[in-house]
Amino acid sequence: MMQQIQDRGGIAILAPMIRIQPPVSWDEFDAHINRLQDFSGIVFTSANAVEFFLDHCAEKGMGRTVPSGPEVYAVGMKTAGVLEKYGVLPVFFPSWFSGADLAAHFRTRDLRERRFLLPRGDMGRDEVAAGLQQAGATAVPVIVYRTVGPDDASAASVRAALAKRSIDVVTFTSPSAVEYFVNLLDGDLLPIARASLIVGVIGGTTADAARRLGLPVQVVAETATGEGLIEALAAWNSTVQPS
C-alpha cells in the first residue's frame, strides 16, 4: 500500500495500530489439534490465522501444513493464497472477501452433526460461526493469535502528526485498527481527527467500526484488499480535485 501511494505521488507514513502476538497459551489449540478426526472442516478467516496455525503445527513436529482429514475453507483469495503457498488447497473460498459471504455459503448447506474448527484471533467476529450454526453444524473457535495495540513510538508519532495537522488521509484495514487509533487520541486530538481527516477503509465492517466511533468515512474499497483501497482513494481524490 505504501509503495502504491508513493507511486501515485502521495507521502505514505507507516503507523501500525495493531501488533499480532501468539496466544497466552496453546493448550486449548493442542487439545483440538490432537483430535482433528472429530472435525469435518477447518475454517480460516484470516491470513494471520493460517500463519500462526501452521507455525505451531511445525513447532509440534507436525510440519508446516494442515493435517489431512478435515476439509479446509478460507475467507477469501488472500487467505487461500497463504494456504496454497504451503500446499493446502481450500475446498471453497468466496469471491468476495468477507466472513459474511463465507457464512452465507455455509447456510446453503445441510451441516447437521458436523463439527468445524475455527482458528482465529482473540478479536475475531462471530459471523462465520453463526453461519455454521444456522446450517446445523457445531462451530468450535480456538484462539491462535492475539491483537494488541500500538507500541509507544507509533502512538506518539500519530499524536504528534495530528497535533501538527500534517496528515490528510488515514487508512484502516480492520475494525481493531480503528479502535486502537481512536483510543490513543485524547484532549483536542479526537475532534481534530473527526474534523480534518479523510478516512478510507478496506470494507463495510471496518466502515461500520469507524462510524460507530465517530469518524467520518469518505472512501470504502469496492474490493476488500489493500490494492482496492488505494484504487478507491485515487478515484475519490480525482472527483474532489479541481479540474
The model's pLDDT over 108-160, given as tens digits with 9 standing for 90+, comes to 999 999 999 999 999 877 899 999 999 999 999 999 999 999 999 999 999 99
Smallest Cα–Cα separation from 178: which of 217, 151, 143? 217
Residue 98 has pLDDT above 80, yes or no: no
Q: What is the pLDDT of residue 242?
A: 58
* Percentage of the chain lying above the pLDDT 90 cut: 77
Give long-range contacts, CB 8 A cutoff, 24+ apart: 205-208: 205/98, 205/99, 205/125, 205/175, 206/172, 206/173, 206/174, 206/175, 206/177, 206/178, 208/175
DSSP 37: G
Residue 224 pLDDT class (50, 70, 90 cuts): confident
Q: Is the pLDDT of residue 243 over 60?
A: no
Determine the pLDDT at residue 68: 87
Which domains are seen in the chain, by residue range? Answer: 2-18+150-240 (3.40.50.10090), 30-148 (3.40.50.10090)
Q: Kindly list the distances between the CA atom of residue 235 and the CA atoms of 65, 89, 232, 238, in Å, as whole numbers in the listed order.
A: 40, 35, 5, 5
For 175-195, write each residue's pLDDT tens digit.
999 999 999 998 889 999 999
Is this model's pTM higher than 0.85 or not? no
Rounded CA-CA distance 240/243 in Å is 9
DSSP state of 145: E
- Percentage, residues of the chain above pLDDT 70: 97
How does DSSP classify residue 113?
A: T
The C-alpha angle with vertex 173 and arms to 167 and 177, in degrees rounded to 5, equals: 75
pLDDT, residue 138, reads 97
Which pLDDT score is estimated for 97? 61
Torsion from C-alpha of 180, 141, 208, 158, nearest 10 degrees? 20
Mean per-residue pLDDT, 66-93: 91
